[in-house]
Amino acid sequence: MSTATYTVKGMTCGHCVNAVTEEITKIDGVTNVDIDLASGLVTIASERDLGADEVREAVDEAGYEVVS
Amino acid sequence: MSTATYTVKGMTCGHCVNAVTEEITKIDGVTNVDIDLASGLVTIASERDLGADEVREAVDEAGYEVVS
């Protein structure tokens, strides 16, 4: 089990949170995604260590940007 | 043909616009919905005069509120 935290820019509402959650959940091995809309903090639990690139791509696919 | 304009509160992103557009488009007779996100202005073209209640209900269904 692994947990990683990213900050995502541009999410403004629950729909945005859903879109990001949906794309990140598609990454192989992801078991849970928790997003705090106000702070943009995205916490990802996974069965393996995820590459930052994988996460960045998924967030990009949803239409948002990982800033850290 | 009829055109009506409403102001909707709470839309913050394109997903919100899509959600409101989708619900209003379901109203019988609606032919076009145009939404300006920045102002919240929703312009509805329809084949008949729509009741304000119908529009209010559709916007509510999408999770937002008609303010005028």
Residues of chain A positioned with their CB less than 8 A from the CB of B16: 13, 15
Task: To the nearest 10°, report the CA torsion of B38, B31, B20, B68.
Answer: 60
Mutate to test the interface with B, among A8, A11, A12 (most CBs of B within 10 A): A12
User: What Å distances lie between residue B64 and A23, A42, A51, B15, B26, CA to CA?
Assistant: 25, 25, 38, 12, 16
Angstroms from A48 CA to nearest CA on chain B:
32
Q: What is the pLDDT of residues B10-67, one digit of tens each?
A: 999 999 999 999 999 999 999 999 999 999 999 999 999 999 999 999 999 999 999 9
Q: Of B54, B65, B67, B63, which Cα lies nearest the Cα of B19?
A: B63
List the single residue in B with minimal CA-CA distance to A62.
B15
User: What pTM was estimated for this model as a whole?
Assistant: 0.85
DSSP E strands, chain B? 2-9, 30-36, 41-46, 65-66
Mind telling me how many Å the CA of B46 is from chain A's nearest CA? 27
